[in-house]
Amino acid sequence: MAKQSGKNQVGTWIGFVLIMLWCLFPVAWIISLSFKSEGETGAGSAQFLPKEPTFDNYKAIIDNPDFTRALINSFGISLIATVLSVIFATLAAYAIARLEFRGKRLVLSLALAIAMFPVVALVGPLFDMWTTFGLFNTWPGLIIPYMSFTLPLAIWTLSAFFREIPWEMEQAAQVDGATSWQAFRKVIVPLAAPGVFTAAILTFFFAWNEFVLAISLTSTTSSRTVPAQMSFFVGPDPFNPPYAQLATASVIVTLPVIVIVLLFQRKIVAGLTSGAVKG
Amino acid sequence: MAAIEMKNIVKQYGDGFPAVNDVSIDVEDGEFLILVGPSGCGKSTLLRMIVGLEDITDGDMVIGGKRVNDLAPRDRNLSMVFQNYALYPHLTVYENIAFPLRLQNASDSEVDEKVREASKTLELDEHLERKPGNLSGGQRQRVAMGRAIVRDAEAFLFDEPLSNLDAKLRGQMRTEISRLQKRLGITTVYVTHDQTEAMTLGDRVAVLKRGVLQQHATPRELYENPANLFVAGFIGSPPMNFLPATVTGNQVELPFGTVTIPEEKAAKAQGKGLLIAGIRPDHFEDASVMDSDKVTDEATFSATVDVVEWLGNEAYAYIPFEAPPEVQEQLQQLERDLDGESLRTQLVVSLDGASRIKEGDEATIWVDARKIHLFDPSTGENLTMDADHAGIVPGGNAMAKAEEVGKEQDDVKPEASAT
């Protein structure tokens, strides 16, 4: 970078700023909206910054028991789905990367096929099944489909990570006196940590942002997640949706995601295996 | 510490690839054994069978009087240094060395004491808190050794531990390993393809070819009494010269002239027709720099020197010669087996540094006829081997057997290049 010509660097920065503007403008717009009063958004005024910034929207939404309940549902369902999905994916991916067994390719292709299935196509059958099994409008009713949709991606990501880890690591551990499980837990999993966190973040995002299943498989706030709950924000009439309220909810819902990414970012350090073997 | 006995060990992979064939080697308690051979000879596979990372197809692996064939690696209590070190990158040097102790649930004070002791031995004290990624190749190598010596293992196993180091460091680490092994007096099995390491480190050396044991002897015995062409060509640097030879009485006719060999050697080679004579480069000398009473006509010949490499203490002279097609083919095959590729048949002669022979000169070369070995070109066997000083030579014809196995291996995997 240091040796780049000045012209080149200027071009890089222009491109950088353009992309940032392109990506962040909608975010800025939502944040700006969330500080505008109901009247201001309804008046059709198009100015970017709020005339009279107000925290009323935030106060209202935090006092709204339906919304806080949905937030709890979202956290619970997403976290449980993520943890379970990552645990299962880690074990499955390890087996796929390390063991030779019949039907290994079949397992991988099947996993991919599941990931390709359009979610909408499954809503009907799932609805019928869940009402029969009594899973409709419950946490597990959402956790199970979320897991089955995120597992394939997690398995593929993690098995790629496991394949990168030199097999000698594990053999060295076994010679040092570790059981297979100890070798897995003390050597392989720490080395695959970047992969585990990547898979965890992807899974969490999917579950956190999912809308179609959340709206179709729930009926009350006992298990409705935030994206679904937001569709129940209605204004005085169908032609005047509460833009400010929606924007505020969006901001609140985005915050945990940003925090989680910042936290996990440190863990996703590429090249953690450097130094393991001669390279 | 324990002796390791390998009894008729066989390794056949799932696809039928015969990697190790009926190898029997005894490693005495406290002995330093080298497994050596060109790439793909099964030496690493054999080592991995000792430690338990490969299943044993047939035969018995006995460590300390106990058959361990069915034991998991962790139950064999051996420690191993891997070719690529296999350090745990997420742990500090301290924790890397402590890892085997932690698995044994050793107390913190015991761990600390042993790790400090190992790090002192290997001069790793100032690196204990660093991660392997920040260490140099030699330091990583020492950490890998620290992890091996920190617990009281029955034996050490080394899998080409120095092959990733540069030449200078390799020499230093070689001495270090030798010193450490002598001090700890622990049974050691060391795999290498480097014949310098084999000669300098080992109490005894087992030479393998295509998964067949060729000879198991001390370095000196291997050097002076190789069992067959393969061992003769593999041990020694520069390698032994192979020349077509015909024996009549006690006269050996070589491409450059005729020399007289001792009676007992000549007797073993009577009536065999065309043979291959093996003479080490050191067993030649420039006649002009020798005491005149040692130079005899029966043991000198004159030849035109093609190239001279002068190294100060000695000089290598290269003298090309024509080999008859019968031996030519055998010699080329041998060359391939030894991972080499020579373009021409030539004699390499090691001369005293004082020698004034120049390129293109017609030189008078003396040869130590007592040290000549005669090999049967069809089987590769050494006809003049002194069996009392050749260590353990497996019965049957090991080299021919290796050829057969080689053919089988090529049938399974034409591009076999596993080490």
Please name the residues in contact with B329: beta carbons below 8 A apart, sequence gap of 6 or more.
none
Beta bridge partners of B204: B33
How many contacts does A have with B, using Cβ atoms within 8 A? 84
Identify which of B86, B90, B147 has the shortest CB distance to residue A166. B86
> What residues are paired with B330 via a beta bridge?
none
At A242 the three-state DSSP class reads coil
CA–CA dist B42, B135 (Å, integer): 31
3-state helix, strand, coil in chain A (%, to 5): 70, 0, 30
The CATH number given to whatever domain includes residue B365 is 2.40.50.140
The residues near B90 (Cβ < 8 Å, ≥ 6 apart) are: A190, A191, A193, A272, B131
How high is the pLDDT of residue B406? Answer: 83
Pairwise CB contact (< 8 Å): A278 & B74: no
Instruction: Closest CB to A174: pick one of B73, B134, B147.
Output: B73
Evaluate whether residue B98 is within a structural domain: no
A-facing residues of B in 209-238 (CB < 8 A) are none
Closest CA to B56 of B128, B99, B5: B5
* Structural class in CATH, domain A62-265: mainly alpha
**Inter-axis angle of helices A65-98 and A243-265, nearest 10:** 30
**DSSP state, residue A184:** I
Residues of B whose CB is below 8 A from A275: 87, 89, 131-135, 140
Q: Does any CB of chain B come closer than 8 Å to the CB of residue A275?
A: yes
Torsion angle in degrees (nearest 10) through CA of B263, B264, B267, B272: -110
Whether B323 and B371 map to the same domain: the answer is yes
Contacts of B158 in chain A (CB under 8 A): none
Judge residue B53's burial from the number of C-beta atoms within 10 Å of its C-beta, 0-12 exposed, 13-18 middle, 19 or more buried.
buried
Cα dist from A14 to A4, A8, A20, B179, whole Å? 15, 10, 10, 63
Q: For residue B307, what are its two tokens?
A: 């190239």
B320 close to A (CB below 8 A) = no
**Residue A45 pLDDT class (50, 70, 90 cuts):** low
Chain A touched by B137 (CB under 8 Å): yes
- Environment class of A7 (CB within 10 Å of its CB; exposed 0-12, middle 13-18, buried 19+): exposed
Structural domain boundaries in chain A = 62-265
Nearest residue of B to residue A189, measured between CA atoms: B90
Q: How confident is the model at residue A3 (pLDDT cuts 50, 70, 90)?
A: low
Q: Does A278 touch chain B (CB under 8 A)?
A: yes
Residue A194: predicted pLDDT:
81
In this complex, is the C-beta atom of B71 within 8 Å of any C-beta atom belonging to chain A?
no
Asked whether residue B66 is domain-assigned, the answer is: yes
State what percent of residues in chain A have pLDDT above 70.
92
How far apart (Å, rounded) are the C-alpha atoms in residues B270 and B5? 39
Give chain A positions within 8 Å (CB) of B135.
275
Q: CA-nearest residue of chain A to B149?
A: A176
pTM here?
A: 0.79
* Distant-in-sequence, close-in-space partners of B213: CB < 8 Å, separation ≥ 6: B23, B24, B25, B206, B207, B394, B398
- Give the B window 239-258 contacts with A, CB below 8 Å: none
Q: How many Cα atoms sit within 13 Å of A11 on the Cβ side?
A: 6
- Confidence bin at A244 (pLDDT 50/70/90): confident
User: What single-letter amino acid sits at B49?
Assistant: M
Give the model's pLDDT for residue B343. 65
CA distance A31 to chain B (A): 41
Domain count, chain B: 2
HSE value, Cβ hemisphere, 13 Å, CA-based, for B313: 1
Q: Closest approach of chain B CAs to the CA of A151, in angstroms? A: 27
Q: Return the higher-pLDDT residue of A151 and B407.
A: A151
Mean pLDDT of chain A: 85
| Interchain contact, B104 vs A177, CB within 8 Å | yes
Q: Is A273 on the interface with B (CB under 8 A)?
A: yes
- Report the residue of chain A nearest B87, measured CA to CA: A276
- Residues of chain A with Cβ-Cβ distance to B153 below 8 Å are none
Q: Residue A273: closest CA among chain B residues belongs to which residue?
A: B89
CA neighbours closer than 13 Å in the CB half-sphere of residue A127: 14
Residue A277 has pLDDT above 60, yes or no: no
* Same-domain status, B161 and B266: no
Are the Cβ atoms of B79 and A182 closer than 8 angstroms? no
| Yes or no, beta carbons of A169 and B88 under 8 Å apart | yes
A179 touches chain B (CB under 8 A): yes
Instruction: Give, for all 419 residues of chain B, the pLDDT tens digit.
Output: 789 999 999 999 888 889 999 999 999 999 999 999 988 889 999 999 999 999 999 999 999 999 999 999 999 999 999 988 889 988 999 999 999 999 999 999 999 999 999 999 888 999 999 998 889 888 999 999 999 999 889 999 999 999 888 888 888 889 989 998 999 899 999 999 888 899 999 999 999 999 999 999 999 999 999 999 999 988 988 889 998 888 888 888 888 888 888 888 888 888 788 888 999 999 998 888 888 777 777 788 888 898 999 998 899 999 988 888 877 888 888 888 777 766 678 889 999 888 888 888 888 889 988 889 999 888 888 988 888 888 888 877 888 788 888 888 888 876 544 44
Q: Which of B54, B91, B103 to mutate to probe the A interface, most A CBs <10 Å?
A: B103
Of residues B401 and A45, more confidence is placed in B401
3-state secondary structure chain B: CCCEEEEEEEEECCCCCEEEEEEEEEECCCCEEEEECCCCCCHHHHHHHHHCCCCCCEEEEEECCEECCCCCHHHCCEEEECCCCCCCCCCCHHHHHHHHHHHCCCCHHHHHHHHHHHHHHCCCHHHCCCCHHHCCHHHHHHHHHHHHHCCCCCEEEEECCCCCCCHHHHHHHHHHHHHHHHHHCCEEEEEECCHHHHHHHCCEEEEEECCEEEEEECHHHHHHCCCEHHHHHHCCCCCCEEEEEEEECCEEEECCEEEECCHHHHHHCCCCCEEEEEECHHHEEEHHHCCCCCCCHHHEEEEECCEEEECCCEEEEEEECCCCHHHHHHHHHHHHHCCCCCCCCEEEEEEECCCCCCCCCEEEEEECHHHCEEECCCCCEECCCCHHHCCECCCCCHHHHHHHHHHHHHHHCCCCCCC
**Token pair recorded at residue B300:** 């000198």
C-alpha–C-alpha distance, residues B274 and B333, integer Å:
17
Ordered strands of the B155-159 beta sheet: B78-81, B155-159, B187-192, B32-36, B204-209, B212-217
Of B133, B137, B147, the CB nearest to A176: B147
Q: Which residue in B74, B78, B164 is closest to A178 by CB distance?
A: B74
H or E element at residue A87: helix A65-98
Supply the DSSP symbol for A148.
Answer: H
Same domain, B181 and B316: no
All residues of chain A having their beta carbon less than 8 Å from the beta carbon of residue B99 are: 173, 176, 186
Q: Is B135 part of a structural domain of the chain?
A: no
- pLDDT at B112 (0 to 100): 94
Does the residue B52 lie in any domain?
yes
* B165, B301: one domain: no
Q: Cα dist. A209→A92, A220, A248, B191, B376 in Å?
A: 25, 18, 16, 56, 80
Structural domain boundaries, residue B306 = 228-384
Question: Within 10 A of A17 (CB to CB), how many other CB atoms are there?
Answer: 10
Within this chain, do residues B300 and B251 fall inside the same structural domain, yes or no?
yes
Q: Judge contact between A170 and A187, C-beta under 8 A.
A: yes
Residue pair B330/B399 in contact by the 8 Å Cβ criterion: no
- My answer on whether B262 and B333 are in the same domain is yes
Distance from CA of A87 to the nearest CA of B (A): 21
d(CA B46, CA B9): 8
- At A1, the pLDDT band (50, 70, 90 cuts) reads very low
Question: Chain B within 8 Å of A47 (Cβ-Cβ)?
Answer: no
pLDDT in tens, A112-135: 888 788 888 889 999 999 999 999
Does B38 lie at the interface with A, CB-CB under 8 angstroms? no
- Name the residue facing B133 among A174, A179, A275 (closest C-beta): A275
Q: In terms of domains, do B249 and B170 share one?
A: no
The interaxial angle of helices A119-133 and A139-164, nearest 10 deg, is 130
A181 touches chain B (CB under 8 A): no
- Given a contact cutoff of 8 angstroms between Cβ atoms, the answer to whether A158 and A89 are in contact is yes
CA–CA dist A214, A74 (Å, integer): 10
Q: Are B274 and B349 in the same domain?
A: yes
Note whether residue B167 is domain-resident: yes
Residue B15 belongs to a domain with what CATH number? 3.40.50.300
Percent of chain A with pLDDT over 90: 31
In the chain, the amino acid numbered B90 is H
Q: Are residues B173 and B277 in the same domain?
A: no
Residues B281 and B167 in one domain: no
Q: Are residues B302 and B201 in the same domain?
A: no
Contact B84 A168 (CB under 8 A): yes
B79 contacts chain A (CB < 8 A)? yes
How near does any CA of chain A get to the CA of B94, in Å?
Answer: 15
Position A278 pLDDT exceeds 60: no
A189 touches chain B (CB under 8 A): no
